Amino acid sequence: MSKIKSLLTILVVMLFAVSAYAADVTKKAEPEKKAELHNQTNCPVMGGPIDSSAYTDIQGQRVYHCCPMCSAKLKADPDKYFKEAAEKGILFENIQTTCPVTGEPIDKAVFTDYEGRRVYFCCEKCIAEFAKKPGEYLDKLTLSAKTDKVEKGQQGEEQTKEGHMNH
Tens-digit pLDDT profile for residues 43-65: 999 999 999 999 999 999 999 99
pLDDT in tens, 143-153: 765 544 444 34
pLDDT in tens, 27-45: 443 434 456 888 999 999 9
The pLDDT score that the predictor gives to residue 35 is: 61
The pLDDT score that the predictor gives to residue 145 is: 59
The pLDDT score that the predictor gives to residue 66 is: 95
Regions of the chain short of the pLDDT cut 50:
25-33, 147-167
What Rg value do the Cα atoms of the chain yield, rounded?
Answer: 25
